[in-house]
Amino acid sequence: MAYSAIEVKVIGDQPAVDNEVPDNIGKILPGGEISGGVMNGSSSKTSRNRDNRRNGKRRKSQKKKKRRKNKKRNRGRPSNDGPTVKLVPPSAPDVVQLSDTSVKLNWTVPSNDGLSITFFRIQYRAIKPKKTQWKTEDTDVRGDQRMYELIHLKQEGTYKFRVAAVYSNNDNKHGPTSKKFTLTTAPYSEPQAPEGAPVIVEVKPVEFQKMHGLNVKWNYVPKKKSPIEGFTLHYKEYSANNNFTALQLLEPTIRSYMIQDLKPATEYTIKVQSFNTAGHSDLSNEVVDEDKGR
């Protein structure tokens, strides 16, 4: 039978305690020996891990705060994730009046290395007499054009204009707005004859104190470039071969007149036209009506 010997070295005079851990665990004696337990390396390591976790959480929190600040700072700026898309808009248009109701717009596009322009769209809004929202013309203006004639505006209206560009990626961007532009009525050195013709809307027989007549009403809207001085009312017996009798009414605002001293129970042909120093307008519609009988 073989035996082996185990050498146990007891340091200090502490009594042995069965199944109990001495109170002085982790106490290091001279020479690096341990009295009544194990060395405190495990406890030190646990403390370091706890500190590392705290520091890690603190660093993560600081990184999150920094990311939030960067997001706020970069809000509205182009993303750096991909190539920057450069859209260079056209200039504010120069406006030239062509007529009482039309203008010509001219604009430029500076030299640039941005996306190419496929076509332009013309936009405008009324300021006076009544403010409106922006309207867009249906016509596409080619990308190599720099001029457009805009028609069907209102006489003496005030407008603003701008040009929008549509780029090769189908994105769009409008340029700056023009200054307010008011359409003016073109001055004329010589007066022009009235345009258009009056329209007779009503003829009524009138009898008063044995006097017979016809009351005539008409409509007419004169043009500002050809103001009128009055109207000429023409009438004659319908069945007679004689010429028309002309009554000149020197009142540009008048729109009705009673023809007096007519024969009773007689049909008359009536027509009206406006006039000024340059001439007469076209004749109105011709109306035949009968005066009241006896």
**Spatial contact of 199 and 216, defined as CB atoms under 8 Å apart:** no
pLDDT in the model for residue 211: 85
Which pLDDT does position 42 carry in this prediction? 52
Q: What is the mean pLDDT of residues 115-123?
A: 95
User: By CB neighbour count within 10 A (0-12 exposed, 13-18 middle, 19+ buried), where does 178 fall?
Assistant: buried
**Cα-to-chain-centroid distance, residue 172:** 14
pTM of the model: 0.41
Percent of the chain with pLDDT over 70: 72
Q: Considering the chain, what is the average pLDDT of its residues?
A: 81
Task: Say if residue 39's pLDDT is above 90.
Answer: no
DSSP three-state, residue 50:
helix
Identify the weakest region by mean pLDDT among 121-130, 253-262, 283-292. Answer: 283-292
Supply 242's token pair.
Answer: 């004689």
Taking the C-alpha atoms of residue 207 and residue 205, their distance in angstroms, rounded to an integer, is 7
**pLDDT score of 142:** 87
Residues forming a β-bridge with 123: 136, 162
Same fold, 94-182 and 199-290: yes
Q: For residues 65 and 37, give the distance between their C-alpha atoms in angstroms, rounded to a whole number.
A: 47
- Report the percentage of the chain scoring pLDDT > 90: 46
- The tokens describing 286, both together, are 């011709």
AA letter at 283: L
183, 205, 217, 270, 288 from 208: Cα distances, Å:
51, 10, 19, 21, 21
- Beta-ladder partners of 267: 290
| Mean pLDDT in residue range 30-44 | 49
Q: How confident is the model at residue 59 (pLDDT cuts 50, 70, 90)?
A: confident
The more confident residue out of 261 and 23 is: 261
- Which among 176, 23, 14 is positioned nearest to 90, based on CA atoms? 176
- DSSP class of residue 274? E
On whether the 94-182 domain is CATH 2.40.30.110, my answer is: no
Residue 76 has what pLDDT? 45
**Residues 247, 259: contact at Cβ < 8 Å?**
yes
Q: Domain 199-290 carries which CATH code?
A: 2.60.40.10
Mean pLDDT confidence for 138-145: 88
- Cis? peptide before 187, omega within 30° of 0: no
- pLDDT surpasses 50 at 38: no
pLDDT at 75 over 60: no
Encoding tokens for residue 215? 């009351």
For the stretch 214-273, pLDDT in tens is 999 999 999 888 889 999 999 999 988 888 888 889 899 999 999 998 998 899 999 999
List the domain boundaries for the chain.
94-182, 199-290
pLDDT number for residue 73: 59
Question: Letter for the amino acid at 6?
Answer: I
